[in-house]
Structure 1
Amino acid sequence: MQPNMDNNIRVESLPPGEAFKLFEEKVGSETLQMHPDICKLAEAVVEECAGLPLALITIGRAMASKRTPHEWKYAIEVLRQSTASVFPGVGKEMFPKLKFSYDCLADEKVKSCFLYCSLYPEDKSIEKDELIHCWIGEGLLDEHTNLSSARNRGHFIIGSLIDACLLEKQGNHRIKMHDVIRDMALWIAGESEEKFFVKSGVQLKEQPKDKKWEEVIRMSVMDNLIENLTDILACPNLQTLFLGRNRLKVIINDFFNFMPMLRVLDLSHNMNLKELPVGIGNLVSLEHLNLSFTHIRKLPIELKALKNLKYLNLERTRRLRIIPQLISSFSKLQVLKMEGCCYQCSLVLEEMEHLNYLNVLTITFTSTSELEKALGFNKFISCAIEHVSLQGFRDSRSLNILALANLHPLYSLELSGYMVIEDVKIESSISEGVGCFHSLRSIYLFDCNQLRDASWIIFAPHLERLFIRDCQGLEEIISEEKLSEVAELKGNSNLFSKLEFLHLNNLPKMKTIYRHALLFPQLKRITILNCPMLKKFPLNSNSAKGRRLVIEGDEGWWKDVEWEDESTQIAFFPSFKHR
């Protein structure tokens, strides 16, 4: 098929009814009627094919000769791990046909990027940025001289894989690999020099043993139940190791001693992990280290040996109290993520000044004085900050949000932590700042109990996601009175013009979002929970034109919603989804 041709037809996954009909045609009604349980078991097999026509046809033919429930149960059990392993013949028949899309990919680097996606668990969505940074750490995008160019290339590759139907889009920020496509990727990896060991999301309780580890280049045992890593793995060629989302408590000091080529290490989401082994300092090739969502209390001084480190993720390490004089020794560091880290950012600011290649920074500020110190400290740090979390701020009752206007790459902003701030100023004297948060896409307001409105978000014209939760005093999102104070914004019809998701939860005083109807041209989902006084939406019949909007909430609340007119009610009535 030629790309971008008008007569190309994208074959979508079949809905359950049609999928079963196709499967039944291939397996034969005689087989399905051999035992009363087989028909029900066949439905489970169809579910594992996830609507992919080629899988339904090929596996249907393979199951035509299976006449007992035991055979069907075994098929379902192993299908959940790998299509090829339960039906070797199926792999030979089906995968080469699917592999045509893989063979047509631009070059070997793109093919390696595709195969890399199979390291993630079946049926799990993958965050684009997380994936791209792993590609960078592995050297798959090394031809690009700077991080920004490499990230752009990564997004281009993801787009290419989506266009080739090898990945599926999951909103703007995540992707997913179809189960059968993932099986094909693992089959290709098994046939090639890129040896993988993948046991992700299969309920492992112990670390894998008795394997020829010297051949393995990439290993993933993420999303399991492993508690202890007590056996040394001799993996001389290993480049990526995914250990995230387990129950790790103990990693012996010598565990990393024989992984000289390791470039990507993910230990994230191990909430029982309180300390790192000192042997981690032996990973002299390491470029990417993800420790987010762990309970580590300190970083070992041995990390100083990681001279090649380019990516360090310490987000949500809420028990982290000690970072010795380490950060400045990572002279090649490009990405430093510290949002939600318990360690005070002000203590590492001076070290950051030595990070000449720092391109991405996420960070938490806990006071006005700390924020002011950081913003005045180093201009180049301001040019790296992509996410800011403002927590606590007990030293002030007001905040000039436009002080953050100079953070040009700022993508995400959070205000939380039981703030005493009563007023977020949008001073008309700073009218030049109108629309100043051009890069801001996500805003989160949690536990800001003294705030009555959130009108300052009008300065984020490209906002896509707005989440507000547990703000006991919040009465409205956009105050018309405050809007009128900024002359440039009077009569602004572009409010929320890019908004896709609006989530409001536990706002007992919330009465209005905005008093006038808006078009919301991009809005996909509104979720309203525990907002008993919110009876009106800024919607009218024009807001509904050509739209497929989902409105989630409690059924009792939905019945009391007051609509602008009957046509608006009729337009949005089918949008409701009980939560």
Structure 2
Amino acid sequence: MADAAISATVKVVLGTVICIAADRVGMVLGVKAELKRLSKTAATIQGFLADADGKMHSPEVRDWLKELEDEVFKADNVLDELHYDNLRREEKYRNQLTKKKVCFFFSFFNAIGFSSSLASRIRDINTNLKRINQQANDLGLVIKYQIEAALPADAAGATASRQTDSIIVPNVVGRSGDESKIVEMLLTPSERVVSVIPITGMGGLGKTTLAKSVYNKTEIDENFGIKSWVCVARKIDIVELFKLILKSLTRTKVDVDGREDIVQEIRGKLGEKRLLLVLDDVWNCEQGLWSDFFTTLSGLNAAKGSRCLLTTRLETVANAVPRHLQMNDGPYPLGKLSEAACWSMLKEKVIAGEDVPKELEAIKEQILRRCDGLPLAASLIGGLLLNNRKEKWHCIVQESLLNEDQSEIDQILKVSFDHLSPPSVKKCFAYCSIFPQDAELGEDELIQHWVTEGFVQPDRQNQRLMEEIAGDYLRILLQNSLLEKVEETWRTHYKMHDLVHDFAKSVLNPKSSSQDRYLALHSYEEMAENVRWNKASSIRSLFLHLGGGISADTDMLSRFKHLHVLKLSGYDVMFLPSSIGKLLHLRLLDISSSGITSLPESLCKLYNLQILTIDGYALEGGFPKQMSDLISLRHLNYWHDDAKFKMPVQMGRLTCLQTLEFFNVSQEKGCGIEELGTLKYLRGSLEIRNLGLVEGKEAAKQAKLFEKPNLSSLRLDFERKNDNCDEDVLEGLQPHPNLQKLEIRYCMGNKIPQWLINLPKLVELG
């Protein structure tokens, strides 16, 4: 399985190398011949990979693949430097034009020097790839250009610990008996203040689903005055556990830290009400912790009859809960589903109430043996069959019965993984495991990470946006039950079951690979260790959580010189070091979970940067002066509700921008509404403020809102009045007919704009 992951990686990176090499052939002085050679050799090796996939049993083929992996990453890094240098020159030229002076002499000779160095490095890579190419012949590999399955146009629609919620799962199958017994226990009168029901069972058995179903019963609501759902999902201390409970009860961020303050806040929330507390996915097995916890919990409320429902995979956890508090004198062991229940669940997934086709009936026995009573297994196999033709079902189930030495669930997941197509989807799936298991993943967040990591291959024929292609990848993972969609009233997010996450983690950085490339580090010491062992330069994605902040004099971050993604968190992290400007390959920077309140000017040298995510209100001093130099920026994820907040000057130069949450019109040069005119790719929601400063209809037209078909929501704010006519300005702000939501504030006109009747998709007007 690890070798299949490396193969997918090589296919994705090789595809990128071939595209970039072909694109840059005519653009770079002195390296044209080497780029042509690189593109041709890489394409030949790409043909060998399909044959290599069927010969992974050979140690020589596996070694060949590992060597190839290292070399294609080197090629990708070199070509990315070439791309960066082209962007740097483009931006320098634009700035010189702005200043009305162009200095060709020095840039010409600098280009010669850079091209000479680049040609030498590409020449070395070509030599190595030629040798690897010859090795493929020596190993008996033959060229087979594998045709990947087309992405479905209408595909239907986390992590070391997993995050769960109390939202009920519809049509829970096969658990009515367990549900009735647990509800009966919860409703049985008791003289204890708090009683505990631990539910135990292996991963994928449905403990969380059962707890959700019980938690949402009407009779439970009638018996308990207050309920709290807490996903523990990792080993934590008692103060953190109480803090999670308080957060669940208040549904707000907890601003108190001391144990005494936290438990007193909980006491105030409980009053004299009986509590139902669910602790889901518990891993702590220290008897002292649970004795201390339940002693305190019992003292917070004098009312008798509160209950704690605790789910865990580990019997040692259940045994650590004081026995005298357990309602059944021991844990409630959850058994496997019956074959009938598994079959019912799988049929609902695959055929949704239709008659069972003969192809499915023929493999029923094998499927049920593979499910082995696990609801997760039934769901995963159902997703696998759903996304393949009936003629392939028998072959797929046969494959899932191989390798009996692997755990049942791992083998099921492996088959789902092997059938993902194209290889880019495999990389996207594995990448999800870099997020902590507590993560609730947003659609935009996932897609933006996949795009910036280079996992999404361009659709040159249909000229689709990379984000649209990544959306197809997301739907493929949903169909295969490798991601779960959670829809709530106020938002939708995605999650990974913990078993799936564990599997994805083994795929992301397989032990058979020569280097780790995607890491989540949780301390300055871990960061230093990677530098000390010369691992830093191979890492592409770094999720860095630093409790103690970044040292002001450290240049350590720049040692991670090939980073594409940097997610920096920890509220003790108060600044970005200026060395951030040395990360020339960086495409995504997320500082939204840090304490950073300003950005260094060196950030503006990151010409490859595509996504910048910042916490709301974080930028006390505004954006860096040269912000408009970030010419690759596609998504600026930042919100500030102050209409006086200063926008970057000449934002109109950021012509790739898709996400811009707000724009404050100003009379300062380079900050007028005309800056929006060149941003033709804007999508989603946009708020435009200070429209009272716009001078008439013709000035408003310069925003060219009519030419932005992907804007779905628009808010027009006319605050900060001038002597201009609001009616004329509003008339000039005609949006594209695709607009779905429109809000107009503080407009002093007496008539509606004529274009309002030409918005056929408008569903909300405010």
Code of the residue aligned with 1:380 in structure 2: it is: T
* TM-aligned CA deviation for residue 321 of structure 1: 1.9
Matched ranges for 1:116-515 at <5 A: 116-122=431-437, 124-144=439-459, 148-171=464-487, 174-178=492-496, 181-190=497-506, 192=507, 194-195=509-510, 215-220=515-520, 231=528, 233-234=530-531, 235-243=536-544, 249-252=549-552, 253-267=554-568, 273-292=573-592, 296-314=596-614, 316-321=616-621, 323-337=623-637, 339-340=639-640, 347-349=648-650, 352-353=652-653, 355=654, 358-362=656-660, 364-367=662-665, 369=667, 374-377=672-675, 379-384=677-682, 387-391=685-689, 405-406=705-706, 408=708, 409-414=710-715, 433=734, 436-441=735-740, 489=757, 498=763
| Aligned residue in 2 for 1:564 | none
**What are the Cα deviations for residues 138-191 of structure 1, in whole angstroms up to 9, with x where unaligned?**
11014456995311110111111112122223459844124xx3432333432x
How far apart are the structure 2 equivalents of 1:442 and 1:227? 45
Count residues in correspondence.
408
How far apart are the structure 1 equivalents of 2:175 and 2:415? 23
How far apart are the structure 2 equivalents of 1:369 and 1:168? 48
How far apart are the structure 2 equivalents of 1:124 and 1:417? 38
Q: For structure 1, list consecutive stretches of 5 or more residues without a partner in the other structure.
A: 30-35, 77-82, 84-88, 197-212, 454-480, 503-512, 514-579
How far apart are the structure 1 equivalents of 2:730 and 2:555? 60
Relative to structure 1, the CA distance from residue 294 to residue 24 in structure 2 (aligned partners, 3 Å threshold; closer, same or farther) is same
| Aligned residue in 2 for 1:571 | none
CA RMSD, Structure 1 to Structure 2 (Å) = 5.8
How far apart are the structure 2 equivalents of 1:495 and 1:381? 22
Q: For structure 2, list consecutive stretches of 5 or more residues without a partner in the other structure.
A: 1-150, 157-167, 186-191, 213-280, 282-310, 333-375, 377-403
The question of whether the paired residues in 2 share the 8 Å contact of 1:230 and 1:250 is answered with no
* TM-aligned CA deviation for residue 347 of structure 1: 4.5
Code of the residue aligned with 1:358 in structure 2: it is: C
How far apart are the structure 1 equivalents of 2:722 and 2:206? 51
Code of the residue aligned with 1:110 in structure 2: it is: V
How far apart are the structure 1 equivalents of 2:171 and 2:433? 24
* Structure with more of its chain in helix, by fraction: 2
| Aligned residue in 2 for 1:466 | none
* TM-aligned CA deviation for residue 255 of structure 1: 3.4
The question of whether the paired residues in 1 share the 8 Å contact of 2:576 and 2:599 is answered with yes
| Aligned residue in 1 for 2:336 | none
* TM-aligned CA deviation for residue 359 of structure 1: 3.9
How far apart are the structure 2 equivalents of 1:97 and 1:267? 35
The question of whether the paired residues in 1 share the 8 Å contact of 2:739 and 2:761 is answered with no
Relative to structure 1, the CA distance from residue 482 to residue 19 in structure 2 (aligned partners, 3 Å threshold; closer, same or farther) is farther
How far apart are the structure 2 equivalents of 1:75 and 1:123? 25
1:42 pairs with 2:202: no
The question of whether the paired residues in 1 share the 8 Å contact of 2:624 and 2:648 is answered with no
Relative to structure 1, the CA distance from residue 308 to residue 379 in structure 2 (aligned partners, 3 Å threshold; closer, same or farther) is same
Relative to structure 1, the CA distance from residue 125 to residue 316 in structure 2 (aligned partners, 3 Å threshold; closer, same or farther) is same
Structure 2 SS opposite 1:166: coil
Code of the residue aligned with 1:438 in structure 2: it is: P
The question of whether the paired residues in 2 share the 8 Å contact of 1:389 and 1:413 is answered with yes
Code of the residue aligned with 1:311 in structure 2: it is: I
Relative to structure 1, the CA distance from residue 423 to residue 326 in structure 2 (aligned partners, 3 Å threshold; closer, same or farther) is closer
How far apart are the structure 2 equivalents of 1:412 and 1:154? 22
Relative to structure 1, the CA distance from residue 280 to residue 159 in structure 2 (aligned partners, 3 Å threshold; closer, same or farther) is same
How far apart are the structure 2 equivalents of 1:64 and 1:44? 8
How far apart are the structure 2 equivalents of 1:427 and 1:93? 68
Structure 2 SS opposite 1:116: helix
Code of the residue aligned with 2:678 in structure 1: it is: F
How far apart are the structure 2 equivalents of 1:75 and 1:243? 38
How far apart are the structure 2 equivalents of 1:20 and 1:39? 21
**What are the Cα deviations for residues 392-428 of structure 1, in whole angstroms up to 9, with x where unaligned?**
6675899998866335133443457976799996679
**What are the Cα deviations for residues 8-46 of structure 1, in whole angstroms up to 9, with x where unaligned?**
9xxx95767954746999xxx9xxxxxx99981017987
The question of whether the paired residues in 2 share the 8 Å contact of 1:293 and 1:316 is answered with no
How far apart are the structure 2 equivalents of 1:147 and 1:290? 28
The question of whether the paired residues in 1 share the 8 Å contact of 2:584 and 2:608 is answered with yes
How far apart are the structure 2 equivalents of 1:383 and 1:425? 27
* TM-aligned CA deviation for residue 132 of structure 1: 1.1
RCO greater where, 1 or 2, for CA within 8 Å and sep 6 or more? 2
**What are the Cα deviations for residues 234-255 of structure 1, in whole angstroms up to 9, with x where unaligned?**
23322112247x8674455233
Relative to structure 1, the CA distance from residue 346 to residue 14 in structure 2 (aligned partners, 3 Å threshold; closer, same or farther) is closer
How far apart are the structure 1 equivalents of 2:663 and 2:430? 39
How far apart are the structure 2 equivalents of 1:325 and 1:488? 38
How far apart are the structure 2 equivalents of 1:345 and 1:65? 57
TM-score, normalised via structure 1 length: 0.53
**What are the Cα deviations for residues 460-518 of structure 1, in whole angstroms up to 9, with x where unaligned?**
xxxxxxxxxxxxxxxxxxxxx967x859849x9x786x56xx9xxxxxxxxxx9xxxxx
* TM-aligned CA deviation for residue 265 of structure 1: 1.0
Structure 1 SS opposite 2:711: coil
How far apart are the structure 2 equivalents of 1:319 and 1:17? 50
Relative to structure 1, the CA distance from residue 67 to residue 369 in structure 2 (aligned partners, 3 Å threshold; closer, same or farther) is closer
| Aligned residue in 2 for 1:80 | none
* TM-aligned CA deviation for residue 134 of structure 1: 0.8
The question of whether the paired residues in 1 share the 8 Å contact of 2:198 and 2:318 is answered with no
Matched ranges for 1:543-562 at <5 A: none
The question of whether the paired residues in 2 share the 8 Å contact of 1:240 and 1:264 is answered with yes
TM-score, normalised via structure 2 length: 0.42
Relative to structure 1, the CA distance from residue 162 to residue 193 in structure 2 (aligned partners, 3 Å threshold; closer, same or farther) is closer
**What are the Cα deviations for residues 29-82 of structure 1, in whole angstroms up to 9, with x where unaligned?**
9xxxxxx999810179877544699xx9xxx99879999456999999xxxxxx
Code of the residue aligned with 1:154 in structure 2: it is: A
Relative to structure 1, the CA distance from residue 259 to residue 52 in structure 2 (aligned partners, 3 Å threshold; closer, same or farther) is farther
